[in-house]
A and B are shown apart, each in its own frame.
Chain A
Amino acid sequence: MYKKEEIERIAKKRREWEDDVLSKTPPRKTEFTTISGIPIKDIYTPEDIEGLDYVRDLGFPGEYPFTRGAYAPMNRGRPWTIRQVVGVGTAKETNERHKFVMKQGQTGMSNDFDVPTCIGLDSDHPLAEGEVGRVGVAIDSLADMEILYDGIPIEKANHSFTINHPTLAILSMFLCLVEKQGVSFNNIRGTTQNDPLKECFAMKMFSFPPESSVKLLVDTWEFAAKYLPRWNITNLNGYPTRDSGGAVHHELGLTFASAIEYFDAALKRGMVVDEIAPRISLMWYVHMNFLEEIAKFRAMRRIWAKLMKERYGAKNPQSWKLRMHAQTGGGAYTYQQPENNIVRGTIGGMAAALGGVQSMAIACFDEALSIPSEKAHRLSIRTQQIICHESGIPDVVDPFAGSYYMEWLTSEVEERTWKVIDDIEEKGGLAKCVDNGYVDRMLTEEAYKFNQAVEKKERIIVGVNEFLSEEEEEEPEIFRVSEETERIQLANLKRLKEERNNLQVQKALDDLRRVAEKNENVMPYCIEASKVYATEGEIMGALREIYGEFKPPSIF
């Protein structure tokens, strides 16, 4: 961007400034780093972005390599979608909450499931006791799905399902409902998270071993490529990687390493990169280092574009374009002085808006304590609306571009990310590195380093290791799931198992097992089983019999 003589002139001036001016005032600490441990200097100048080529490295929004944004007008066209997470208790309770947040102006519909559903267990499984409907909605069968969507026209909304290993079962149930409402598969819009590897190494709500989970994922990809033209079949999710202690380059690197594992397997099955890539969206964490987060969003678009175009030879520009959702980090929130989290959410929401996300959730301020209250939900939505309509941030595209520091940091995050991707590949790919504990160890060590820095107060977290409140803290109004929820869910499940045609269920599950044994695509058979009200646990159980169950490696 600058001529060589100009850079030399700036360098000379900078050295003089360092000697004559900067050295007069000692810095308040010896080393400054970002939250990810990237060392940062006092000041950045054109010297730091000497090699940057505007057209090659930044370009224009909506054009390769998309550093400045995935779409031309970005928020000047359509502002980001407000997509707060909803999901609590029974399907009926969640249905009521859906209707509530829709009234508040939310445009997308998100479903979070309880832990047994996420793992692929029914509510009556012995390990599920105490967890049913606690941190999300419990879905045992198509019957629950019917209640969840009662009175909600499927065609009008955009649906998101935070479900991974059991995508086969949950998406199948949803598709049965779509058929019942008489809606064409061509017209349904939405997303399934369906990113199984990170469940094994970060989110830890796994069912199948890494290798099997990749096989089953490709089954859903094949199905979606054929029958669900407007469905984003996978939402690669870097969020839990960051939440389990990873640095920014782990969040990006391990997520892209997952993508590589999935794409390699899909292509081996005969799929074409351009039939999948345009329907993949990504989800990220927003951590507290404001500028690093903005750099991250810019860097990841460039990495994805290169990955798709250069590595996989994608021809469709839609494949190069990384579209994303971001959620402010629950792990960045503190249990102590929970109202401070409203401010943390605002900073994160601003970083996400400046980074150019397509949809956003601001974690509710009481998230560290419990399932969000209605008040907390409303505050998160209002925060987004204030950023969107009052701050002026969405009125210009990528305003940080051209900042010496921002451009340097964007490139630095990119470089560190490629290092993680290359390292995983050298060690045999992500599935293998998850299986042998390499990834878990990598994240745990990074987290421990951070934790030590907090212990030693090298990093300050307000209300946690500094600025503690002197009087006893008052807990905010807490939303509690009633203990009735579990009882009702169990009763419904029991009744379902008595009232459905159990012969049909057995036959459907036998068919599923047979196909699984032949290692063919199991998705159509999961739909057939869902249709006759086989439960999630039964469908997943049949698959576990054939594909195994993941036992995480011990890293201590």
Chain B
Amino acid sequence: MARKRPIRVLLAKPGLDGHDLGVKMVAMALKDAGMEVIYLGMRQTPESIVKAAIQEDVDIIGLSNLSASVIPMGERVMKLLKGKRMDIPVIYGGTILKEDRKRLLDLGIKETFAPGTMMKDIIETIEKLVPEERLQ
């Protein structure tokens, strides 16, 4: 069935990390793939991210973090979403070590992406994670 609207993605950098090249590349690639992208920018708090996700009624949240606060920021975002009983899929890109990836997946984050990931892989994952009925 044809979609009525494009996938809406919220991208944000939680914490103080300034490495925003990757997230900007993802934003541009997702737009080129026909998605609607809302990029909140850097120095976001978990609260501001979750609030924007709800307000903008996005289909998926993409977090980016290349500093060492990957885990605490991921934990706080997931905790807030659960507290609000929100079932928005979350993906996370950045310098995520193997054991950290496992921790993040256990928290309910759907997928993590290391630097150097091909954009087509990110696009494919998003396409899979967003339920088709949301787009009807």
A147 CB within 8 Å of chain B: no
The residue in chain A whose Cβ has the minimal distance to the Cβ of B119 is A455
A306-343 Cβ-contact flags toward B at 8 Å (1 or 0): 00000000000000000000000001001110000000
Taking a contact as CB atoms closer than 8 A, the residue among B19, B24, B71 that contacts A444 in the complex is B24
Which of B20, B69, B114 touches A335 (beta carbons < 8 Å)?
A: B114
Tell me whether B17 and A115 are in contact (CB under 8 A): yes
Q: Please tell me if A546 contacts chain B, counting CB pairs below 8 Å.
A: no
Closest to A127 in B: B16
Closest beta carbon of chain A to B97's beta carbon, Å = 6
Contact mask for chain A residues 526-554; partner B; CB cutoff 8 A; 1 contact, 0 none: 00000000000000000000000000101
Chain A CB within 10 A, most for which of B16, B37, B42, B72: B16
Q: Are B68 and A552 in contact (CB under 8 A)?
A: no
- B83 at the A interface (CB under 8 A): no
Least Cβ–Cβ distance between A463 and chain B, in angstroms? 8
Q: By the criterion CB–CB under 8 Å, are A127 and B68 in contact?
A: no
0/1 string, A100-131, CB within 8 A of B gives 1: 00000000000000011001010000111111
B-side binding surface: helix, strand, loop or mixed?
loop
Q: How far is the CA of A244 from the CA of B97 in the complex (A)?
A: 22
Chain A positions within 8 Å of B43 at CB level? 127
Contact A368 B15 (CB under 8 A): no
The contact string, 1 if C-beta is below 8 Å from chain B, for chain A 417-461, is 000000000000000000000000000100110010001000001
A residues less than 8 Å from B97 (CB atoms): 369-370, 475, 478
Q: Which of B39-65 contact A (CB under 8 A)?
A: 39, 41-43, 45
Whether A451 contacts B16 in the complex (CB less than 8 A), given A127-B43, A370-B95, comes out as no
Supposing A335-B114, A455-B118 touch, asked if A131 and B95 sit within 8 A by C-beta, the answer is no
**Which chain A residues lie closer than 8 Å to B39 at the CB level?**
554, 556
* A contact patch SS: loop
What is the CB-to-nearest-CB distance from B40 to chain A, in angstroms, rounded to a whole number?
9
Whether A335 contacts B16 by the Cβ 8 Å rule is no
CA distance A369 to B114 in the complex (A): 9
Bound complex: CA A331 to CA B68 (Å):
17
In the complex, per-residue mask of A199-235: 1 if CB is within 8 Å of any chain B CB, else 0? 0000111000000000000000000000000000000
Indicate the member of A334, A447, A475, A556 with the most B CB atoms within 10 Å.
A556
The interface size of chain A toward B, counting residues with CB under 8 Å, comes to 41
Q: What separation, in Å, do the CA atoms of A203 and B37 have in the docked complex?
A: 24
Return the chain A residue nearest B24 by Cβ.
A444
Q: Does B67 contact A (CB under 8 A)?
A: yes
B95 contacts A204, C-beta separation under 8 Å: no
A131–B69 touching, CB < 8 Å: yes
Complex-state Cα separation, A135 to B16, whole angstroms = 12
Residues of A499-517 contacting chain B, CB below 8 A: none
In the complex where A451-B119, A455-B120, A552-B41 touch, is A130 in contact with B68 (Cβ < 8 A)?
A: yes
User: Residues of A contacting B21 with CB < 8 Å?
Assistant: 243-245, 331, 444, 447
Given that A131-B68, A455-B118, A552-B42 are known contacts, is A447 also in contact with B15, CB under 8 Å in the complex?
no
Query: A461 — nearest CB in chain B belongs to which residue?
Result: B116
Q: How far is the CA of A203 from the CA of B19 in the complex (A)?
A: 7
A126 to B44, CA, bound (A): 12
Contacts of A464 in B (CB 8 A): 116
A-chain residues with CB within 8 Å of residue B119 when the two chains form the complex: 451, 455
How many angstroms from the CA of A139 to the CA of B114 in the assembled complex? Answer: 30
Which residues of chain B are within 8 angstroms of A334 by Cβ–Cβ distance? 115-116
CB within 8 A of B68: which of A134, A245, A451, A461? A134
A472: nearest chain-B partner, CB-CB: B98
Residues of A187-206 contacting chain B, CB below 8 A: 203-205
Given A552-B41, A556-B27; A130-B15 close (CB under 8 Å):
yes
Say whether A465 faces chain B, with CB atoms less than 8 Å apart.
Answer: yes
List residues of chain A with CB within 8 A of the CB of B19: 204
State in angstroms the CA–CA spacing of A345 and B110 once bound together.
35
Whole-angstrom distance from the CB of A451 to the nearest CB of chain B? 5
- The answer to the question of B28 belonging to the interface, with a C-beta cut-off of 8 Å to chain A, is yes
Assembled-state Cα–Cα distance A93/B71 (Å): 22
A368 CB contacts on chain B under 8 angstroms = 95, 115
- A447 pairs with B68, CB closer than 8 A: no
The answer to the question of A387 belonging to the interface, with a C-beta cut-off of 8 Å to chain B, is no
CB distance from B132 to the nearest CB of A (A): 26
CB B19 to nearest CB in A, in angstroms, measures 8
Does the CB pair B95–A134 fall under 8 Å? no
CB closest chain-B residue, reference A203: B18
Give 10 A-B contacts (CB < 8 Å), ordered by A residue: A115-B15, A121-B16, A130-B73, A134-B68, A335-B114, A369-B97, A370-B68, A464-B116, A555-B24, A556-B39
Closest 7 A/B residue pairs (Cβ): A204-B18, A130-B69, A134-B68, A130-B72, A464-B116, A115-B16, A335-B115
Given contacts A447-B24, A554-B39, A556-B37, 14 further A-B contacts (CB under 8 A): A115-B16, A128-B16, A130-B15, A130-B73, A204-B18, A243-B21, A245-B21, A334-B116, A335-B95, A368-B95, A368-B115, A369-B95, A448-B24, A455-B118
